[in-house]
Amino acid sequence: MSRNVLTPDALTMMDVIARTGSFAAAAREMGKVPSALTYSVRQLEDALDVLLFDRRSGQAKLTAAGIELLHEGRRLLEQLDAVANRVKRVATGWETQLTIAVDDALSRLTVFELCEDFYALRPPAPTGAVSGHPAGGVPADAAGPGTRLRLRTEVLAGTWEALVSGQADLDIGVTHDRAPPAGVKVEPLGTMGFVFAVAPHHPLAAVDESITDAMLVRHRAVAVADSAHRLAPVTVNLLPGQDVFTVPTMQAKLEAQLRCLGCGFLPEPVAREHIAAGRLVVKSVERTRPPATFSYAWRVPSARSSIGDPRALDAGLIGDAGVAGGTGKKGSSRSAPVGLALRWWLDRLARPATRLALLERHAGPRLQGF
């Protein structure tokens, strides 16, 4: 097959010839005789059944096919270098990928600032690095941790589902409406208050007394859809027979209520600046919503953990989630160490300023000690 000839050596040869401008100069740089290089190029051309160089000018002038192979070859060589560097980085304890599920009510601004800090890390270069460059050819001061971050936005039960189904390694913003399955460690994040708010021109804005269910049911509610697919979805403060406008995110819910498309409870930190500016009006309702208690949770690595087992979704595998490194199952094996990327996130989440920012800071400057 023609792909068998597209070896790293062949692609490197194309790069050197194009960069030096002639077969003779390329041969000198590669420590070969020009005839050997010419033979290798002809073998490549025969295998691909294309002409890569126009030799009529006496110089190594690339054809259109040669230019395409050069560009794609350089890209492939960069990817090979990146893979080699990533494999070496993983050998030092950094995960290849870390998936983080974040509840939609938390501060997106803070989450992205955490991502900025993570990518700004400068871990020691992997073994084999020389002259300040890791073995993959990437400068050590630009390598970062080598872990791919993947963010997921989840709502209500969907945040738990992402973790217990194995789709996420870390949950930020799980609630306490269900017991954690075995193999999951949970730590408190904090509480978030909610306010019932409507646009100033909404009919309920003119009501002076506390709004009853009988009054509320006549007005459309705005609700964020639970992102869970397998766990039972959670419904909060919706009345039987009430018209409901369902939206995908908390930001969409806020926008809908600002536009007087409905009413409902909003996280107080999310609505705060709009209330202060008069774009939303807080109303008293008989159907109050207590503050939500959030936590963060992560999967504890273990060879015999139930994470990813569909039965765990039914909360049938309940363990001692309060013991770090334990799975809560009798006779289960010792847990593997937490990867360095996850450990970095856990260390940041342990800071009170970080937890406060995730709950409270939906606008404004970065908090000190974050």
- The residues pairing with 191 across neighbouring beta strands, listed in sequence order, are 293
Q: Which of 33, 68, 91 is the last residue of a domain?
A: 91
Residue 242 lies in a domain: yes
312 and 181 Cβ atoms separated by less than 8 Å: yes
Residue 264 lies in a domain: yes
SS3 assignment, position 194:
strand
153 and 249 Cβ atoms separated by less than 8 Å: yes
Domain of residue 268 covers 194-282
- Quote the pTM value: 0.66
- Please check whether residues 275 and 296 belong to one and the same domain: no
| Alpha carbon of residue 70 to chain centroid | 33
* pLDDT band at residue 323 using 50, 70 and 90 as cut-offs: very low
* pLDDT band at residue 140 using 50, 70 and 90 as cut-offs: very low
Instruction: State the angle between helix axes of 108-119 and 340-349 in degrees (0 to 180), rounded to the nearest 10.
Output: 140
Q: Which of 62, 91, 120 is the last residue of a domain?
A: 91
Q: Is the pLDDT of residue 134 over 50?
A: no
- Please check whether residues 184 and 198 belong to one and the same domain: no
Position 50: which residue type? V
Mean pLDDT of the 300-327 span: 39
Work out how many domains the chain is built from and give that number: 3
- Tokens 């217990």 -> residue: 164
Residue 365 lies in a domain: no
Q: Which of 50, 65, 91 is the last residue of a domain?
A: 91
- Please check whether residues 22 and 104 belong to one and the same domain: no
Type and span of the H or E element at 181: none
- Please check whether residues 156 and 7 belong to one and the same domain: no
Residue 344 lies in a domain: yes
Residue 217 lies in a domain: yes
237 and 264 Cβ atoms separated by less than 8 Å: yes
- What's the CATH number where 52 sits? 1.10.10.10
With CA atoms as reference, report the closest residue to 199 among 269, 141, 281. Answer: 281
**What is the pLDDT, as a whole number, of residue 159?**
83
More confident residue, 199 or 129: 199
- Please check whether residues 182 and 300 belong to one and the same domain: yes
Residue 65 lies in a domain: yes
- Please check whether residues 261 and 327 belong to one and the same domain: no
What does the alpha-carbon distance between residue 78 and residue 138 come to, in Å, rounded to a whole number? 9
- Please check whether residues 84 and 113 belong to one and the same domain: no
201 and 259 Cβ atoms separated by less than 8 Å: no
317 and 178 Cβ atoms separated by less than 8 Å: no
Residue 158 lies in a domain: yes
Can you give 130-166 as a three-state secondary structure string?
Answer: ECCECCCCCCHHHCCCCCEEEEEEECCHHHHHHHHCC
Q: Is the pLDDT of residue 329 over 60?
A: no
Type and span of the H or E element at 193: none
What does the alpha-carbon distance between residue 356 and residue 218 come to, in Å, rounded to a whole number? 37
Residue 172 lies in a domain: yes
The per-residue pLDDT for range 179-220, each reduced to its tens digit, is 777 778 999 999 999 999 999 999 999 999 999 999 999 999
- Please check whether residues 325 and 183 belong to one and the same domain: yes
**18-27, 233-242, 279-288: which is most confident:** 279-288
More confident residue, 304 or 171: 171
Q: Which residues contact 58 (CB under 8 A, 6 or more apart)?
A: none
CB atoms near residue 181 (< 10 Å):
27
More confident residue, 89 or 189: 189
